[in-house]
Amino acid sequence: MSSARRDVTIGDVASRAGVSRAQTARALGGYGAVSEAVLSRVLVAAEELGYRANSLARSVSTGRSQSVGVVVGDIENPFFALSVRGISDTLRAAGYDVVLMNTGESHELEVDAVRALDGKRVDGFLVAPALASEFAHLQALVDAGRPLVLFDRDVPGLAAPSVVVDVEAAARELTDALVAAGHRRIGFVSTLTSSAARWNEDPQVAHTPVGRRLLGITGALRVHGLEMRAEDVRVGARGAEDIRRHVRELVTGDAPVTALLASDAVIAVAGLEELRCLGLSVPGDVSVAVFDDPPWAGLISPPLTVVSQPVLETGVAAARLLLEAMAGRASAEPPSLFAHFIHRNSIGPAREVE
Amino acid sequence: MSSARRDVTIGDVASRAGVSRAQTARALGGYGAVSEAVLSRVLVAAEELGYRANSLARSVSTGRSQSVGVVVGDIENPFFALSVRGISDTLRAAGYDVVLMNTGESHELEVDAVRALDGKRVDGFLVAPALASEFAHLQALVDAGRPLVLFDRDVPGLAAPSVVVDVEAAARELTDALVAAGHRRIGFVSTLTSSAARWNEDPQVAHTPVGRRLLGITGALRVHGLEMRAEDVRVGARGAEDIRRHVRELVTGDAPVTALLASDAVIAVAGLEELRCLGLSVPGDVSVAVFDDPPWAGLISPPLTVVSQPVLETGVAAARLLLEAMAGRASAEPPSLFAHFIHRNSIGPAREVE
DNA sequence: CTGAAAGCGCTAACAC
DNA sequence: GTGTTAGCGCTTTCAG
């Protein structure tokens, strides 16, 4: 019982309008059959009383909440921000609201988030899982028949559609360009702590976004008879400081890499800052490329060579897929989204290896 | 009535555990007094039945939803993305979820969003209003006693606390630097369509973020006996193309500006792109400064001179204030947040005026 | 078209 | 501690 005075209820409006509650509900809710006369009387009464519909009560009754839960690792990351924009706009147009959960890439928080959303009886879930290896919480959703669509990240073994960008071809192009420029040692840095930590021995790697990038890179390298060294793949960098440390180690070790690949824009920013602090020039001392094409990529010096991904489209596609699933329609296959390689100027000839 | 089989309810758990519904609810809800014996029996039964709490039903009963509505103009804008991160993290720590509404800076959508959130009975509202002039929807919230905190933007005449950054001092510093470098004609571009459109005659201007920026700038100019020309203030640019057009007009007219001020990072990116297309160098041909300090600002060429704002802090402060308001405590004054001027290298001597 | 009555799942008095 | 009994506000048969 709240301390404030009771809400104006449908019953209040009903008696004021001199109509039954059922009929009032129909008028206000816009369902069922209502005569013009009753409709206007109810509307007037509602207006006079300052009636505000309570969609919570409606949801308890109908079992649908007209809202979907969206869980992302980091809303601050431009990738997620833009995805969420696509998701939000698409969903709103279809009459759904978005309940946003930011997990900071913590699996525990993700589990909590899903539980909370489920408690709120969201009609569907859109999640970019932090881990590909632990997915009991998602499996539970699928088992319970709750609409679920993954995006940006896939979870092998989970029967839920996923919208991911096919980055392999672009990654190969990028790698080819690197090799052609004489690079033999390439470093890769990513924030994600996924099963990709064991990227070189885990068959599930293809299902993580990091894994897909690596697959494209290593595949292309192999064609040239080259391999990536395990110590040059840094997955699981947490926070700017950690990213910078990884970058520092990669470019200043005994056998430094001559090219640095950033898994996303956040990594790129921190990495470029570190290179600058180290007094290393791009692409003179080290070549750089990023798996994302933020709006400022072409503005920095040198303009960044990137693998550009259709980010907004990812969000839109995921939302559409979820809409289908919520409508009970057999979920169409996720659309094919492709990344593409954009050569700007952050890749140059490999520095001479001693 | 949904087609799916009925949810497992507290009643089901109760009978399975051989306890009353009330006691079961207490055990499951973690309130009231429950004996160890009953607690474990209930927990076991719940587990076996796969019980999932329904917070919607709880909310209908208690009148509180443990969620707050956040409405922003553009989640894709790094400013909002970062604010929302601060908001989300702060609120989650206090047990609240975030229902996010993205309005695309449309007043109509904002009104709808507020209505929808109110229908969902969110416990509080956090909004960055698109317009300072139309606020009936917000006034209604205040009148109804619903906790509301504005952020980034203020609404004169509305009795709701607002978290805005004090940008005036920093704007003055920036302007002084510009004047010292010989600039006499300064252009300003902003996305916002607020009452600031009449910035030079509207006394309410101080309450819009754009207005506050302009106030700092014009105030400092006046000290030097200078004024801003009305046609050099472009508020209301919509979308990248429009922003670029404004910039183009400003720098290529009969009496072109020699310095360009961008109201946020999004404007800056589009503006810099336009300058580049025009073949104009920064700061050689035109000086540039931005009212935000995105992580990449120091990375571009030349490093951007900015007025940096505590963005994350804005979100956190707004969330805290709302938490206070929701707790019924007399809302403490909004904390003072100050922007600061960071001189990097995008400001140079004014180009000779013909 | 309209209304009565029975839910939806949970909480909150109030006795025992 | 525990159970009984009313709600919370809205929807939904089912008659008429």
pLDDT tens sequence across B46-91 = 999 999 999 999 999 999 999 999 999 999 999 999 999 999 999 9
More confident residue, A334 or B243: B243
| Residue numbers in B 52-81, CB below 7 Å of strand D | 57, 60-61
Contact criterion met (CB < 8 Å) for B120 and A102: no
Whose C1' is closest to the CA of B21: which nucleotide?
D3
Of A88, A109, A273, the CB nearest to B75: A88
Q: How many CB atoms lie within 10 A of CB B139?
A: 16
Contact criterion met (CB < 8 Å) for A300 and B295: no
Distance of CA B180 to CAs B218, B289, B290, B301, B349, Å? 15, 15, 18, 22, 8
Q: Which chain A residues are Cβ-neighbours of B269 within 8 angstroms?
A: 295-296, 299
Which two structure tokens, joined as six digits, stand for A126? 């859109």
Task: Tell me what pLDDT residue B3 has.
Answer: 36
Contact criterion met (CB < 8 Å) for A121 and B269: no
Q: What is the pLDDT of residues B2-17, one digit of tens each?
A: 334 578 999 999 999 9
* CA atoms lying within 13 Å on the CB side of residue A106: 10
- pLDDT at residue A238 tops 90: no
Q: How far is residue A287's CA from residue A276's CA, in Å, rounded to a whole number?
A: 13
Q: What is the pLDDT of residues A276-299, one digit of tens each?
A: 999 999 999 999 999 999 999 999
Q: How many CB atoms lie within 10 A of CB B210?
A: 27
Give the position of tokens 């071809």: A169
Protein-proximal nucleotides of chain C (any atom < 7 Å from a CB): 1-5, 7-13
Contact criterion met (CB < 8 Å) for B121 and A76: no
- Mean pLDDT over A151-166 rounds to 92
Pick the CATH number of A67-165+311-337 from 3.40.640.10, 3.40.47.10, 3.40.50.2300, 3.40.50.2000: 3.40.50.2300
Which two structure tokens, joined as six digits, stand for A306? 């990137």
Q: Which chain A residues are Cβ-neighbours of B276 within 8 angstroms?
A: 299
- B269-276: long-range pairs with CB below 8 Å, 24+: B269/A295, B269/A296, B269/A299, B270/B240, B270/B243, B270/B244, B271/B189, B271/B243, B271/B244, B271/B247, B272/A299, B272/B300, B273/A298, B273/A299, B273/B244, B274/B243, B274/B244, B274/B247, B274/B248, B275/B247, B275/B251, B276/A299
Is residue A143 classed exposed, middle or buried when 0-12, 13-18 and 19+ CB atoms within 10 A define those classes? exposed
Q: Is the distance between the Cβ of A352 and the closest atom of strand D smaller than 7 Å?
A: no
- pLDDT at residue B299 tops 50: yes
CATH no. of B10-62: 1.10.260.40
Of B67, B85, B120, the CB nearest to A75: B85
| Residue numbers in B 12-51, CB below 7 Å of strand C | 21-22, 25, 28-29, 31, 51
Q: How far is A182 from chain B (nearest CA, A)?
A: 26
Task: Tell me what pLDDT residue B53 has.
Answer: 96
B61's CB contacts (< 8 A; 6+ apart) are: none
Q: What is the pLDDT of residues B235-254, one digit of tens each?
A: 888 889 999 999 999 999 88
Q: Which of B283, B286, B302 is nearest to B251 (CA)?
A: B286
Q: How far is A117 from chain B (nearest CA, A)?
A: 9
Q: What is the pLDDT of residues A292-322, one digit of tens each?
A: 999 999 999 899 999 999 999 999 999 999 9
Name the CATH topology of A166-309.
Answer: Rossmann fold (3.40.50)
Q: pLDDT exceeding 70 applies to what percent of chain A?
A: 94
Q: Which of A343, A341, A345, A350 is nearest to A179 (CA)?
A: A350
Residues of each domain in chain A carrying CATH 1.10.260.40? 10-62
Q: Is the distance between the Cβ of A281 and the closest atom of strand C smaller than 7 Å?
A: no
Q: How far is A108 from chain B (nearest CA, A)?
A: 13
Distance of CA A213 to CAs A124, A350, B14, B313, B335, Å? 29, 21, 51, 35, 44
Residues of each domain in chain B carrying CATH 3.40.50.2300? 67-165+311-337, 166-309
Q: pLDDT exceeding 90 applies to what percent of chain B?
A: 81
Q: Which chain B residues are Cβ-neighbours of A71 within 8 angstroms?
A: none
Q: What is the pLDDT of residues A175-214, one digit of tens each?
A: 999 999 999 999 999 987 655 455 555 656 666 777 788 8
Relative to beta strand A259-262, strand A186-190 is parallel
A140 — pLDDT class (breaks 50, 70, 90): very high
- pLDDT at residue B153 tops 60: yes
Q: Please give the residue of chain A at the shortest CA–CA distance from B95.
A: A116
Mutation target among B146, B299, B312, B345 for the A interface, most CBs of A within 10 A? B299
Reported as type and span, the H/E element at residue A163 is strand A162-163
Q: What is the pLDDT of residues B173-214, one digit of tens each?
A: 999 999 999 999 999 999 876 554 455 556 566 667 777 888
Q: Is the distance between the Cβ of B64 and the closest atom of strand C smaller than 7 Å?
A: no
Q: Which of A225, A42, A195 is nearest to A131 (CA)?
A: A195
Q: What is the pLDDT of residues B262-292, one digit of tens each?
A: 999 999 999 999 999 999 999 999 999 999 9
Q: How far is residue A347's CA from residue A292's CA, in Å, rounded to a whole number?
A: 15
Contact criterion met (CB < 8 Å) for B97 and A97: no
- Mean pLDDT over B37-47 rounds to 95
- Mean pLDDT over B156-169 rounds to 93
Q: Which chain A residues are Cβ-neighbours of B64 within 8 angstroms?
A: 2
A353 — pLDDT class (breaks 50, 70, 90): low
Task: Tell me what pLDDT residue A144 has.
Answer: 93
- Mean pLDDT over A53-73 rounds to 97
Task: Tell me what pLDDT residue A1 has.
Answer: 36
Q: Please give the residue of chain B at the shortest CA–CA distance from A51.
A: B119
